[in-house]
């Protein structure tokens, strides 16, 4: 049975990546009306997980307030290894991207209830597919953030910061696509 996304959790350390990005943009987090996310992410004495729904509300409120459809992808692409906590340390120890994928699939739950990756290799091309584990489709902002975060870490792990990645989404392509193509350095469909 699928978990209700309204009851789902996300690791506070992973959520901190979004908070850090918004602060780097000098966004007044209190004005977004989701102060629980930044408070939990900032306080190590707080629970290690926060509400996924609250995190999504923060992501969408910031996207609306700044009127930047590409904000979720930019925020995801800004994540640092420290935002992955123990998973980041595991991934750093991997010999190659294939091993990193296996470890990511095994330990993704450390980041919360955010879905499961699937790797498909066809010749020289690899596809990383993200499965959202809930009945409803993920908000486009979440899909953009998650894909950009995975691209960021694939580039980091492979030491290929210039790696081009095509991004395929269910539903219409985010507009205008040129902004997203600069982030992924590939086609956005």
Q: What is the pLDDT of residue 1?
A: 45
pLDDT at 145 over 60: yes
Phi, psi of 85 (to 5 degrees): 60, -130
Considering the entire predicted model, what is its pTM? 0.87
Q: What is the pLDDT of residue 67?
A: 92
List the structure tokens of 31: 């004005």
Nearest to 20 by CA among 41, 1, 4, 40: 41
User: What span, in angstroms and rounded, lies between the C-alpha atoms of 119 and 112?
Assistant: 19
Q: 16-45: per-residue pLDDT in tens?
A: 999 999 999 999 888 887 766 766 666 656
User: What span, in angstroms and rounded, lies between the C-alpha atoms of 12 and 39?
Assistant: 10
């Amino acid at each position: 049975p699928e978990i209700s996304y309204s009851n789902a959790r996300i690791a506070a350390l992973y959520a901190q990546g979004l908070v850090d990005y918004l602060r780097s943009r000098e966004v007044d987090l209190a004005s977004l009306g989701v102060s629980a996310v930044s408070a939990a992410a900032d306080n190590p004495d707080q629970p290690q997980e926060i509400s996924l729904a609250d995190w999504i509300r923060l992501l969408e409120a910031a996207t609306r307030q700044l009127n930047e459809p590409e904000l979720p992808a930019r925020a995801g692409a800004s994540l640092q290894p420290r935002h992955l906590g123990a998973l980041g340390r595991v991934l750093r120890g991997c010999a190659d991207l294939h091993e990193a994928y296996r470890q990511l699939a095994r330990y993704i739950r450390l980041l919360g209830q955010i879905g499961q990756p699937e790797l498909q290799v066809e010749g020289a091309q690899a596809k990383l597919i993200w499965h959202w584990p809930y009945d409803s489709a993920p908000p486009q902002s979440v899909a953009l953030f998650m894909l950009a975060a995975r691209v960021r870490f694939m580039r980091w792990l492979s030491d290929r910061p210039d790696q081009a990645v095509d991004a395929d989404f269910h539903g219409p392509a985010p507009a205008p696509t040129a902004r997203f193509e600069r982030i992924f350095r590939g086609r956005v469909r």
